[in-house]
Amino acid sequence: MASDYQRIPYLIVFDETAAFKDTYAGMIGKVVLEAQLLKPDTPSDSVVIFSHPIGGGAYLPMPGALARRGIHTIYANTRYRGNDTALIMEKTILDLGAAIRDAKERLGYKRVYLGGWSGGGAMSLFYQAEAQSPSVTQTPAGEPPDLTKAGLIPADGVMLLAAHLSRNLTLTEWLDPSVRDESRPFDRDNDLNLYGPLAPKPPYEAAYLERFRAAQIDRNRRITAWVKAELAALRAAGRPNEERCFTVQGTMADPRFLDPAVDPSDRRPNWSYLGDPQLVNDGPVGLARFTTLRSWLSQWSYDDSHAHGLRCAARLTVPLLVIENSADDACTPSHAARLMAAATNAPTTHHVVRGANHYYFGQPELAAEAASKARAWIEALG
């Protein structure tokens, strides 16, 4: 079923008025999105559109695998391509909406399916929930955009491919609860420090895991309370458009990475999709390592983010395809299970790719299996 395809880069440009600029350089008042159309030789009126909050996945195995099976595929980056420091999830929804409108009105596709890869999964669910029944009138910081006035076009179906719950929930489940004071992040609670010499070792007891998870949520909420206080202080001082940047240490301390018995799968033990979890925990590329007040509330706040994958899945009414990778070193099986359990109003198809890692790196035959399942699902929908 292999098909030749062209890779066509293009730009999507639209106007936006904002109080201040949250992306680096470029023309003020213009949003410019980079996109690629992977166009097979066989014509089609359907297209799969991938997007991700910070993009960068156009050359990952899955988009090409779909195109080789005759599926027209677009990868549309958001305005925050490669940098989520000041990312606002509500604005990524505007960007995905612009890509969908362009695909329909300029490129002529009649049916659009969202390709929610990894962090693009919850973003796709957030988009579709707001396109079906808009409800978000402002960001968690109380600022534009108003998604109820965005005219978002609903997609015809959503694919969750190696998708995690959402950025706020996943960060919380990876957050190091041994950090007691954000101003002294390396002064840690020995009992909750997974990587310290005095912490309990795997296998972990259920009571310990319950206490650990509660402490993770508490830490997220402490950061959120500080963020809200800082924003309130800026506004009270007559500086409502100013920002504060900060770092978050300890963001890869999930017991699942150390104890294979927690959320069992075929994944490699003592490993994560970014490498050794102990190094990632305080390394430069952890989730939310560098962020801002508004971005924390929109992306990472356990209670405040509108892009909450489980809540958005519960609002879904179009067909849903969930492809789960059994050796995924980022998204363990409970992610897919909880998303499917939440999507009670969506006709759901589920497939597990045995032995597949998060990105299908070095596994072209498994990427092909996933792409074939996606093609079959699209064909079944007509």
What pLDDT is attached to residue 25? 81
Whether the per-residue pLDDT at 1 is higher than 80: the answer is: no
Give tens-digit pLDDT for 62-111: 999 999 999 999 999 999 999 999 999 999 999 999 999 999 999 999 99
SS3 content of the chain, % helix, strand, coil (to 5): 35, 15, 50
Provide the angle, in degrees to the nearest 10, between the axes of the packed helices 364-380 and 61-68: 60
Domain ranges of the chain: 5-166+306-380, 170-300
Residues of the chain with pLDDT > 70, as a percent, come to 99
How far CA 347 is from CA of 34, 122, 213, in Å, comes to 32, 17, 31
Residues with Cβ within 8 Å of residue 240, at least 6 apart in sequence = 19, 234
The length of the chain, given as a count of residues: 382
What pLDDT is attached to residue 20? 85
What pLDDT is attached to residue 112? 98
Nearest to 13 by CA among 38, 26, 29, 30: 30
231 confidence band (pLDDT: 50, 70, 90): very high
Provide the angle, in degrees to the nearest 10, between the axes of the packed helices 167-174 and 206-236: 120
Contact 366, 360 (CB under 8 A): yes
2 confidence band (pLDDT: 50, 70, 90): low
Nearest to 253 by CA among 231, 240, 237, 272: 272
Give tens-digit pLDDT for 310-342: 999 999 999 999 999 999 999 999 999 999 999
223 confidence band (pLDDT: 50, 70, 90): very high
Question: What is the pTM for the complete model shown?
Answer: 0.97
19 confidence band (pLDDT: 50, 70, 90): confident
The CATH code that applies to domain 5-166+306-380 is: 3.40.50.1820
Give tens-digit pLDDT for 161-200: 999 999 999 999 999 999 999 999 999 999 999 999 998 9
